[in-house]
Amino acid sequence: MKKIIVTGGAGFLGSHLVDLLLEEGYHVYVLDDLSSGNESNLSRWTDMEDDIQDMRSLYKYSPGKRPRLEIKDIDITNKFVENPWLSDIDAGDVDCIFHMAARMDVMTSFKDPFDDGMRNYIGTLNVLEFARKIECPKVVYRSSFTVYSEDNDLPLTETAKKGPISPYAMHKLFSEDILELYNRHYGMKNLSFRLFNLYGPRQDPGSIYSGVVVQFLAKALKKNNLPVYGDGEQTRDFIYVKDAVRAMYEGFRKDAVGVYNVGTGKETTINQLVSEISEILGRKIITECREGRKGEICRSVADLSRLKEDLGFYPDTNLKKGLIETLDWMKKHG
């Protein structure tokens, strides 16, 4: 059975990726210190781990191919190549490391750029060194659209000018560069996905790391006013989490190398997002105007040409459908 490591696998994005990998029959190691992730995100699998009969009937795997999940409390900011558990992994035993662990908040990166650098750059370097040690040929990295300069024509292509305006974005770009360096000098086939604005089930609205979509949905469900920073005409490319993980999986499966945008190719204003939520809930949403925030990009939308041409992939969840599915999950989970 092929083996995969997922850093940050108990988090919002990472847990959806783990779901997909286990469904595909992989043996998955999750490395997560649970500083922002939650093991309950993996309960679909951990609660059933000892119930072999249920696993067979639900997922239709033979006993020899039954998916396996192992969760390890490991902090990637430490030089964990010396970790006793990881030292038991044999060279050539892991096909890919999906590096999803990250500190996700732009505002927090201004308050503590050193900690952001440790989590978003040094952590990446640690992962690469561990991959090199165990002869793992590929690291698939969770990058961000924030690496782009605001001085670009839209939609943003992968070759557009870079110009990070926050420590968070700078550390993401540094990580992309070091992945590419390992490709050139160590013969690896690393891959970076510049994710645009993620949303979906399991995203915690109470976390400072969560995006505007789930924060708005949570407030709207409680009939609270929604805070709109600036004039609300700033745009985002909102990508549903299950589409994003399918894109990354295709990149691994088709042995792609380099950098890819992951979005929808559709530009949505914050005001339009409010209107969409209002329509779904069937009532008027009240907003509060607030001062614009430092380090926030005014407009963004992805060009998906490379994603479609190289990977044959295009997201199929529109914003309304994604919002409805996210709302349904939030209602069930309080």
Helix (H) or strand (E) holding 68: strand 68-72
* Sequence-ordered list of residues with C-beta below 8 angstroms from that of 35, at least 6 positions apart, any chain: 75
Catalytic choice (29, 168, 240, 249): 168
Query: Which residue is associated with the tokens 């004039």?
Result: 231
Task: Based on the residue annotation, tell me whether 314 is a catalytic residue of this protein.
Answer: no
CA angle 140, 97, 28 (to 5 degrees): 130
Question: CA 8 to CA 101: how far, in whole Å?
Answer: 4
The four Cα atoms 141, 145, 147, 149 give a dihedral, to 10 degrees, of 160
Supply 164's token pair.
Answer: 């990070």
Q: Where do runs of H (alpha helix) occur along the chain? A: 12-23, 43-46, 52-59, 106-111, 113-117, 123-133, 167-186, 212-221, 241-253, 270-281, 305-311, 319-332
Task: Tell me the chain's radius of gyration from C-alpha atoms.
Answer: 20
What gap in Å lies between CA 244 and CA 264, rounded to an integer? Answer: 10
CA separation for the pair 129, 145 (Å, rounded): 25
Task: Identify which of 248, 245, 205, 246 has the alpha carbon closest to the alpha carbon of residue 227.
Answer: 205
The catalytic site residues sit at 168
